[in-house]
Amino acid sequence: MTGLPHDDGCIFCKIVKGEALSFKVYEDDLSFAIMDINPFNHGHTLVLSKGHYTNLHEANEDAVAAVARTAKKIAAAVVDAVPNDGVNIVQANGPGAAQSVQHYHLHILPRRLGDNAKLNWSLTPGDHEIIAKQAADIRARL
């Protein structure tokens, strides 16, 4: 972990350093995967950046790419390992998105039909004029 940012008060940084209990699934130079100890469903796994970045906005491109590669690998293994009807890959940024640990990570959430997850929204058509304006506003910031 030499050269990577670290926060001594962060539980995920402590887990990466082996200073706190975890159920490790996978590790490489930039990412670390563990079982969630408060699982939504069986197989709920977390993929962490080894470096401490509060969220996606602070994470560098190498960290984001490493976490994404690991999430793809872990999601395939989870789908094979536990009964499921699908899988969500969830990443939260900030309190409004229910980010509970201020360290960049993804949730691999095996889903079951009828599991009552609150991640779903209804498919209600939006106003195309408003959507087009929002797309233009976002493109202008890229």
Please confirm, yes or no, whether 107 is among the known catalytic residues. no
106, β-bridge pairs:
47
Round to whole Å and give the CA distance between 85 and 82: 10
Contact at 8 Å (CB) between 1 and 19?
A: no
Spatial distance between the Cα atoms of 16 and 49, rounded to a whole number of angstroms: 9
CB within 8 Å of 32: residues ≥ 6 apart: 15, 16, 24, 26, 47, 48, 49, 50
Query: Residue 75: helix, strand or coil by DSSP?
Result: helix
Closest CA to 53 of 116, 123, 5, 110: 5
Per annotation, catalytic residue among 42, 105, 107, 128:
105
Q: Which residues are catalytic?
A: 105
